[in-house]
Amino acid sequence: MDKFKFLPKSKLNNLPKTAGVYSFYEKNNAIYIGKAANIRIRVKNHFQQPSYRDNLFMGRITKVGYFETGSEIEALIFEANLIKKYQPKFNVMWRDDKNYFYAAIAKNKEGIPYVFITHQPDEKIQNSKSKTEYIGPFTEGVALKKTLRFFRRVFPYYTANKHPKNKCAYCHLDLCPGPYDDEALRQSLRAKNGDPFFEYKKNIKKLILILKGKRNAVLNSLKKEMKNFSKEKEFEKAAKTRDKIFALQQIMSHTKVINSDNSGTAKVIAMSDIAITLAKIVGLEKPISKIECYDISNIQGKHATGSMVVFIGGRPAKNLYRKFHIKIEGKPNDVAMIKEILGRRLNHPEWTYPEIMLIDGGKAQLNAALKILEIENSLKIENCKLKITIMALAKKYNKLFIEGKDKPILLKTLPREIFNLILRLRDEAHRFAITYHKKLRKKYLLK
């Protein structure tokens, strides 16, 4: 185990407090492998509050090995792969019970892959010519389920060998590709070799690689795809691939799935619930994924700047932030400035458009933004028109104006998680605008 660092069991206080994988050794043989959100706390729990199972091997331990993964999801994945590779005695002893889980990737009669979770691999299937692939064992079913749910946002997949003729609930959440016989779907996924599900199968291969701990290989593959799309001037596909890369990095870096006491009751950041709640508030059918927020900074109209910050999945995507040096001069005119920066932003389809644009201001700014969007859509054919919901936040009165709603909403009446998200967007856009404004002023004064 090249990645492992080792300590005698008398030095447990020197273990890190980060997520990772740990192993207990009897001389030079690993007898048990586990994962943890906090390695030090979890390992010490084995010694200080041993379970019945712990007592079977605690007296054999001569040293403790560990390595930090940087995230809980990676710890979950590495634990499963290391147990499979090294077959530690006490992990293998318990593998046949119902506490171990596997991610299974099977194929239906048409050869279309689907993903599901099982307690035990079917030995009859394993020994046959079936191409069902089992990844595991995973020690926490809840954590595995949540992990797959997060990855499904990046790589939508089927969960059964048949799909209804109509769209299912997961289709509307962009978690399922759609009905098999949907010709539009087949055309969108079709490859040069004629396989209508070629792109879908590529995504499943990437999912399998991630579950086997090969995250970097997947990221490198996606980056290569993004560059190729850009070279071919397919900016929409390039931008979607870029968003996949960012979403995957966010999931692998920040998502919490492991409960610190390893009881199996996973604590997960429920951003999907926030996305669904926000969609209901603004009147959209699908959960919100991407939000852009705009702010303006100026002193009496001089050195006016605009900022665009981007949140994906409720988190800042700082590599997608943009700043605008506003060209309008003279008396300060927030409405005109908002119109300018939104007009300039809408001229960049390669940035990909959000579901929501949140702007600084009240009813006047909202109407100005809607006018710009209307002008942009008037130049497009019907099926290419932009579907973006505009919201305006009046800071002074803490009121939210939403497109299509007659009256503003008081921020304090919103669910707390939505209230906090909007304030984070507002504060981040303001910070970014102020920073750029100060930079321009300093540059001007030094001339």
Q: Indicate the residue type of 380.
A: K
Q: Which CATH class is domain 283-445?
A: alpha beta
Return averaged pLDDT per consecutive 10 residues of the chain, 447 residues in all. Answer: 82 92 92 92 90 84 91 89 87 64 89 87 51 85 87 91 83 81 60 66 93 91 91 86 85 62 37 75 83 84 83 86 84 85 91 92 92 87 82 87 90 86 92 84 66
Q: What is the pTM of this model?
A: 0.56
Sign of the CA dihedral running 226, 228, 234, 237: negative
Element (H, E) at 346: helix 334-346
Q: Indicate the residue type of 93.
A: M
Measured distance CA(272)–CA(279) in Å, rounded: 11
Q: Are the CB atoms for 321 and 307 separated by under 8 Å?
A: yes
Measured distance CA(377)–CA(169) in Å, rounded: 29
Instruction: Summarize pLDDT for 40-63 with one digit per residue, the tens.
Output: 999 999 998 888 778 888 889 999
- What does 242-283 look like in DSSP terms, one character per residue? HHHHHHHHHHHHH-----TT-SS------HHHHHHHHHHHHT
SS3 65: strand
Q: Residue 128: what pLDDT?
A: 45
Instruction: Summarize pLDDT for 160-178 with one digit per residue, the tens.
Output: 888 888 888 788 778 888 8
Q: Where are the domains of the chain?
A: 5-94, 101-254, 283-445
**Topology of 5-94 in CATH?**
GIY-YIG endonuclease (3.40.1440)
Residue 288 is classified by DSSP as P
Based on its alpha-carbon atoms, the radius of gyration of the chain, rounded to whole angstroms, reads: 26
Q: Residue 388: what pLDDT?
A: 93
Q: Residue 292: what pLDDT?
A: 96
Measured distance CA(398)–CA(411) in Å, rounded: 6
Residues whose CB falls within 8 Å of the CB of residue 156, separated by 6 or more in sequence, listed in order: 170, 174, 175, 176, 177, 203
Q: Residue 435: what pLDDT?
A: 86
Measured distance CA(413)–CA(269) in Å, rounded: 23
Residue 19 is classified by DSSP as S
Measured distance CA(33)–CA(76) in Å, rounded: 11
5-94 and 283-445, same CATH topology: no
